[in-house]
Structure 1
Amino acid sequence: MIEIKHLSKSFQMKDGAVQALKDINLTIPDGSIYGIIGMSGAGKSTLVRCINLLERPTEGSVVIDGTAMETLSPAALRQRRREITMIFQQFNLLMQRSCLKNICFPMELAGVKKAEAEQRARELLQTVGLPDKAEAYPAQLSGGQKQRIAIARALATNPKVLLCDEATSALDPNTTQSILTLIRDINRKLGITVVVITHQMSVVEAICDRVAILDKGVVVEEGSVKEIFANPKTAAARRLVAPNGGAAARDLASFAPDDHVVRVTFNGSSTEKPLVASLAAETGILVSVLSADTRDLSGQCYGSMLLRLPRDVDQARKAFDYISRQPGVTVEEVTGL
């Protein structure tokens, strides 16, 4: 659906050019939910605005459904943007219009007849779970309801691509989860390709199929969400996947000389058999969890854990051997054994 080829973007400032994006190359599969994640200033919002040419790339090409967007005439580009809609962090609803009229607005611009537009808008209100808010105004809605109306408006022109620019950053955790569930349901039911721009790894792990990690305008890592969680290769990826990773890599000087400490990495082990509990139940060996940063992705565990094994060498080796035999788990000595 979307191919980004050697895309770069520079902004001319008073004291010279600032390069926001550098040689970006990405392929976003048709019908997928694709995450683009990075810290503030990484270039995420610039990249998403280049996808629909709200920002024109300085170099490179954006190809959507076989068409190089930068080659289109202004009229053809406006027409094409109806297939590439966007939702934002601050909703961007028209405050003087009712919810129904907000959803009708892009159809008005496209020349859709009023009766047809209103019928479509009411169908979309049903889709986003707010059929009773047709005559309400944005000021009367909660943040989550506003975002649902914004999603309905984005769907009004039957788009092929939905761009989500930090769409849940202004919402509380429960509302965020409900909006992510709605986006996933829309993706599955309508087959729309979704591009999620975020700085929150929790958003990526909740709904995305693949993810690209952006750092200082460069894609430093790209792959399936499970691959990135299991084995982040760059410092930028590790900061996002395990923001508290410093605790897991605590100073070795803090351990006693006879401590036996191991780092356990979960590369997709089953969550049905908790490691520490099964170790105790099956061998009678108790270990201490010094730090942990793990996640459950579709019933599989990813992340790492720092364990202190018993000081008795035989018991420690028995525990080490037990852990190393578990599927989807790797274990390495930190100190002691």
Structure 2
Amino acid sequence: MIEIKHLSKTFQMKDGAVNALKDIDLTIPDGSIYGIIGMSGAGKSTLVRCINLLERPTEGSVVIDGTAMETLSPAALRERRRDITMIFQQFNLLMQRSCLKNICFPMELAGVKKADAEKRARELLEMVGLPDKANAYPAQLSGGQKQRIAIARALATNPKVLLCDEATSALDPNTTHAILTLIKDINKKLGITVVVITHQMSVVEEICDSVAILDGGVVVEQGEVREIFANPKTAAARRLVAPNGGSAARDLSSFAPDDHVVRVTFNGSSAAKPLVASLAAEKGILVSVLSADTRDLSGQCYGSMLLKLPRDTEQAKQAAAYMRSQNGVTVEEVTGE
């Protein structure tokens, strides 16, 4: 388990002090995939570097499995860092080394015998799906393949924690999905705690169990991913969950007084039963989708839609009643807001 207690980090600059992190309190459960998200300049990368003490906190403590990292001697800290490995946006592979030798590198530093290191490296190449790339060099690989090699290298010392600092930001959407699937599989197979640093909510929703939202060096919101998506409480969370303002951003002034416009909020309803289609099939009532911002998280739907119901008042009432009868769905009239 990782416990971050009252952690602050201040950088002394020529024109004064910069408070990059302010009184951070987080608990990251053992074996979880935990997201830390925020816009540029929120303090994400500084926080992840504080976890393995590449940056020393100005105040506070980082406790991993009961050990306060800042209390360790330099030698003990180097030893402990083998349990806390990291992958980066730009891969950071050694270009003059083959993929096999890149993966062997941290084991060489740890004094592992060459034969044992190469055996482990080949096992990891199998795990990341690139057994045929042992003798290839980074320049011969695609971006996704480079990140797979970087993941294999990070796993070489059998770590307990994997830190991912914007690890998919340089990849296209399909490759991003493949890398996130790999990270999720590794988490399940090996039980490694994964900390994902990102500015992309799509990354968090795809693989994370819980999330903390950073804004201006402060944790403004934290909790289970589905809770944050269903009910973001802060402006920073709402910007990330619905960067375009979601359905609430629709201008309602153009609608007539007898238009029936409702906001439908999904808070864990079944994604297997599409609401608008079910309303048409079961009740014969057609509605117009004005805007929508919904997500499927583990088979459950979160987010909201703005719907225009039929002008016929009785049909509109029936439609609203039907939607309200569904589990995890709330309906509110918004005409005239």
Please, what TM-score do these two structures have when normalized by structure 1? 0.98
Q: Deviations over 1:29-67 (max 9, x none)?
A: 000000001111111000000000000011100000110
SS at match of 2:334: strand
**Where does 1:171-182 land on structure 2 (aligned, <5 Å)?**
171-182=171-182
**Where does 1:137-286 land on structure 2 (aligned, <5 Å)?**
137-245=137-245, 247-286=247-286
Question: Could you say what the CA RMSD is over the residues aligned between the two structures, in angstroms?
Answer: 1.2
Q: Hey, what does 2:69 align to over in structure 1?
A: 69
- In the alignment of these two chains, the number of paired residues is 337
Q: Deviations over 1:148-188 (max 9, x none)?
A: 00001000101000000000000111111111111011110
Structure 1 residues 247, 279: CA separation in 2 closer, same or farther (over 3 Å shift)?
A: closer
Instruction: Report if aligned partners of 1:248, 1:292 keep a CA contact under 8 Å in 2.
Output: no
For 1:132 and 1:282, the matched residues in 2 are separated by 54
SS at match of 2:253: helix
For 2:336 and 2:95, the matched residues in 1 are separated by 64
Measured after TM superposition, the shift of residue 318 of structure 1 is 1.6
For 1:32 and 1:25, the matched residues in 2 are separated by 17
For 2:116 and 2:211, the matched residues in 1 are separated by 38
For 1:185 and 1:206, the matched residues in 2 are separated by 13
Measured after TM superposition, the shift of residue 286 of structure 1 is 1.1
Instruction: Report if aligned partners of 1:259, 1:336 keep a CA contact under 8 Å in 2.
Output: no
Q: Hey, what does 2:87 align to over in structure 1?
A: 87
For 1:252 and 1:134, the matched residues in 2 are separated by 59
Q: Hey, what does 1:334 align to over in structure 2?
A: 334
Shifted more, 288-297 versus 273-282: the winner is 273-282
Q: Hey, what does 1:316 align to over in structure 2?
A: 316
Shifted more, 313-322 versus 125-134: the winner is 313-322
Instruction: Report if aligned partners of 2:246, 2:292 keep a CA contact under 8 Å in 1.
Output: no
Q: Deviations over 1:163-215 (max 9, x none)?
A: 00000000111111111111011110111000000111111111111111111
Measured after TM superposition, the shift of residue 113 of structure 1 is 1.1
Measured after TM superposition, the shift of residue 254 of structure 1 is 2.3
Shifted more, 159-168 versus 278-287: the winner is 278-287
Residue type at the aligned position of 2:102: N
Shifted more, 223-232 versus 155-164: the winner is 223-232
Q: Hey, what does 2:42 align to over in structure 1?
A: 42
Identical-residue share of aligned pairs (%): 89
Measured after TM superposition, the shift of residue 247 of structure 1 is 4.9
Unaligned runs of 5+ in 1: none
SS at match of 1:306: strand
Q: Deviations over 1:208-232 (max 9, x none)?
A: 1111111111111111111111111
Q: Hey, what does 2:21 align to over in structure 1?
A: 21
Measured after TM superposition, the shift of residue 251 of structure 1 is 2.6
For 2:313 and 2:336, the matched residues in 1 are separated by 9
For 1:19 and 1:267, the matched residues in 2 are separated by 36
Unaligned runs of 5+ in 2: none
